[in-house]
Structure 1
Amino acid sequence: KIAVVGVHGWFPMKLVRSVMGEPTGTSEKFCEQMSMAAKYYFESEHGVKIHDNSITMIPLQGEGKVEERVDKLFNSLVNNPAWMSALISADVILWATHSQGTPVSTLLLRRLLDRELVNVQRQAVSLLAMAGICYGPFPTLKGSLIVKYFEADAARELFEFMDSNSTISQKFADSLGYILRRGIKTTLIGSMQDQVVPLYSAIMTGTSHPNILRGMYIDSHIYSQDDFLISIISFALRLRNVGLSDHGLLTHISEVLAGNLYSLEGGHSTIYEELDVYVIAVRHLFETAPFDLITPMEAKIDPFQSKVRLNPFYLPWAMRGIFDDTRISNDPILSQELKNLKVLYDSWSPASAKLREIKFRLEPLKAKL
């Protein structure tokens, strides 16, 4: 039996929706996508056909600030006998969320674990967080007219996640550490051209734990296997996924990845349309070793404070840290990838001013590259 839970992100108020259109990232959407991903995985990898009656979809809905939503969604769940029965009896729980739904889901999962409504001793549990606002939105959006004049407290609260010392950030970090310690496989997928959430926020660069898998969604029309920027970000993500440091590279390269907030370009809302994003979370759950069920491991959560503009000199130092890291240079696979990056860097001809600036910053490291 599989229970699939979907938790939507923050929705703009009706006045803004009338201009921007109704949101498509609904809880029902996430449930449907995750259900398809589970069926695809079991049939393609194991030749097992999962029937619809083996899956119960639990689309949780409710708007507001983070803790308000946690209360609403919890009450909605426990007051639905069919959902509660499916959740408690499930062998597998697949949870998908987006944007503001990430801290909401994390706090809600902790409550369910605390009350033994989810039991990791007999249930396999996965949390997929797509473009999660974990360290807040892009700091430059704080002055947005939408946020300042049209939106309610729920939108303004998102910027409190920029400071790890804020009350809501501390509650989020505490709950995140708890669910990781309890063995929840957590898949963090950021979007390369997100208009709202920086990559460092979506993948929680300041948090380390074996139960975390990180990835990046790239719109197909901008993807190129030979693109230096895509390759270096993918390499840094791979470092984090094998337990090595990226020396701050992902944080300091995030600011050049922002999509256009006022155009259809950008992946904040296209990330949840891609089935492979959900399949990654299913694979993470079933194809990696279970951690923490016998000896719990604490998550390492570093303090974080988002800045409007990062120090441009940190980027070359981050790259230098990678090249001087013997754990990387002594690994035959990772060291070969570094050599491949040199070839891509030499042939890289970025078109935008922001990307040309990145190439300029990395120029002193050409000798190492």
Structure 2
Amino acid sequence: MVPPSHGHKDPAVAAAAKKMMNNKRIVIVGVHGWFPMKLVRSMIGEPTGTSIKFCEQMATGIKQYFQEEHGVDLPLGDVVTLVPLEGEGKVEDRVHQLYEKLLNNSAWLEAVSSADVILWATHSQGTPVSMMLLRHLLERGHIHLIRQSVCLLAMAGISQGPFPALKGSLIVKYFEADAARELFEFMDSSSPISVQFRTSLAYILHRGVKVVLTGSMQDQVVPLYSAIMTSIDHPNLLRSIYIDGHLLTEKNDFLIHLVVFAVKLRNWGLSDHNLVVHLSEVLAGSLYALEGGHSTIYEELEVYMTAVKYTFETAPFGQFIRKTAIVGEHVQQAQLSVEKEEAEEAEEAEVNMTPFVAKQQQNPFYLPWILHGIMTDPQVLANASLVDDLKQLLQLFEQWHPTSARLKELKYRLDPIRTVRL
């Protein structure tokens, strides 16, 4: 992993950045998640009011990026238009609501249609809402990807459903019934709402929209496999993980490095052998401990910076695709650069979707076999950087001394990996 960039000092680069942004117009769309109960809101965040927060955070990220990377002071008020969309209900109802709000606000609609760059930030249930709404905007000619660049940041998105165990929890029973049931329908990729969502995602990816899927390592509501959509692959997808700063007490923690490695594999276009799916249950935060995770993800500026970098460092603005994994309040970069021609070919790639049905409980005995599969995978072993990562993981495993019962059990289950020789 490579430390964060500290910015470019070359005046020529700054001049090029100024030229790139000359007369460019940027629109930032924010779409909040949905949790109706006051009790739940106190635990996992307010649904309304966060749309404008997403917009403001993304705007701050844009300004910081051009200052740090290119030495350019971007006048946000002249360049950026914020479009915070709010409205509650089931997914399809929200899609129609937000579309009507855009149609009824001529200034917003004109800004979206005329922008050179559209950055979209959404959270939780807002993820399927946003992808379906974006498809509407593309189909109805409000957005034209032949002259516009679009990047959607999905934070802790309920893409493959919440944790299955929440279905029977006391808190969920107090949710508004219809919307609550619908969240769990995303656990099955063949359900009508999942089919609509996945079809919309495939549509926008194929058209050239860039999508950043960011999961929270200790989310109380959304499993990591759901937030980063492990059942879908496409070159325009970038996966990242946010880890609350209070979890980074041990810099060389085995579990953190293991999760980041799994995300790195997916960003390299390689199989993680379902490692993320089987780790997600272990990573689940407590809904009652107020420990952040689901709501603190959108407080972290580096989460937005990942989408900003992905937008401006890839075609048509940049020459490369930059793959990043977020760790806590800092960013550790697992980079994969490809030539610009390859980046442009990503738009023509097929969207690979595999069926998915969430299980109430994963079989813990799969984990050592999964890691053995990764450590003997010819595609992984052919990459020197990934082999170095695996060697480091084996060393960290020996040094790992978890204290909680859940993690002690995980270490016991993974003990067979000590027999692997790289």
Q: Please report the TM-score for the alignment, with normalisation by the length of structure 2.
A: 0.84
Distance in 1, Cα, partners of 2:297 & 2:40: 22
Distance in 2, Cα, partners of 1:171 & 1:21: 27
Secondary structure of 2:135's counterpart equals: helix
Aligned letter for 1:169?
S
Q: Deviations over 1:318-342 (max 9, x none)?
A: 1111111111112111111111111
Secondary structure of 1:366's counterpart equals: helix
Residue 357 of structure 1 corresponds to which residue in structure 2? 409
Seq. identity, % = 61
Please state how far the C-alpha of 1:11 moved relative to its aligned partner. 2.5
Give the conservation status (yes or no) of the 8 Å contact 1:9–1:101. yes
Distance in 2, Cα, partners of 1:24 & 1:274: 18
Distance in 2, Cα, partners of 1:21 & 1:237: 26
* CA spacing shift, 1:19–1:283, aligned 2, 3 Å: closer
Distance in 1, Cα, partners of 2:268 & 2:43: 44
Give the conservation status (yes or no) of the 8 Å contact 1:62–1:73. yes
Q: Deviations over 1:94-114 (max 9, x none)?
A: 000000000000000001111
Distance in 2, Cα, partners of 1:85 & 1:6: 16
Distance in 2, Cα, partners of 1:36 & 1:152: 37
Aligned letter for 1:345?
F
Secondary structure of 1:216's counterpart equals: strand
1:117 to 117, 142, 145: 142
Equivalent residues in 2 for 1:1-369 (5 A)? 1-13=25-37, 22-23=46-47, 26-51=50-75, 52-223=77-248, 224-289=250-315, 291=343, 296-368=348-420
Distance in 1, Cα, partners of 2:269 & 2:378: 14
Aligned letter for 1:157?
E
Give the conservation status (yes or no) of the 8 Å contact 1:70–1:104. yes
Distance in 1, Cα, partners of 2:82 & 2:64: 16
Aligned letter for 1:28?
I
Q: Give unmatched runs, 5+ long, in structure 1.
A: none
Give the conservation status (yes or no) of the 8 Å contact 1:260–1:266. no
Please state how far the C-alpha of 1:155 moved relative to its aligned partner. 2.1
Distance in 2, Cα, partners of 1:275 & 1:18: 22
Q: Deviations over 1:57-91 (max 9, x none)?
A: 00001000000000000000111011011111111
Please state how far the C-alpha of 1:288 moved relative to its aligned partner. 3.1
Distance in 2, Cα, partners of 1:340 & 1:261: 33
Q: Deviations over 1:280-335 (max 9, x none)?
A: 01111222346467862221111101111011122111111111111111211111
Give the conservation status (yes or no) of the 8 Å contact 1:190–1:202. yes
Q: Give the aligned length.
A: 369
Q: Give unmatched runs, 5+ long, in structure 2.
A: 1-24, 317-342
Distance in 2, Cα, partners of 1:57 & 1:96: 11
* CA spacing shift, 1:295–1:340, aligned 2, 3 Å: closer
Using the TM superposition, name which of 219-228 and 284-293 deviates more. Answer: 284-293
Q: Please report the TM-score for the alignment, with normalisation by the length of structure 1.
A: 0.96
Distance in 1, Cα, partners of 2:45 & 2:208: 38
Please state how far the C-alpha of 1:151 moved relative to its aligned partner. 2.1
Aligned letter for 1:132?
G
Distance in 2, Cα, partners of 1:348 & 1:56: 48
Please state how far the C-alpha of 1:16 moved relative to its aligned partner. 5.7
Distance in 1, Cα, partners of 2:359 & 2:196: 21
Aligned letter for 2:192?
T
Secondary structure of 1:106's counterpart equals: helix
Aligned letter for 1:352?
S
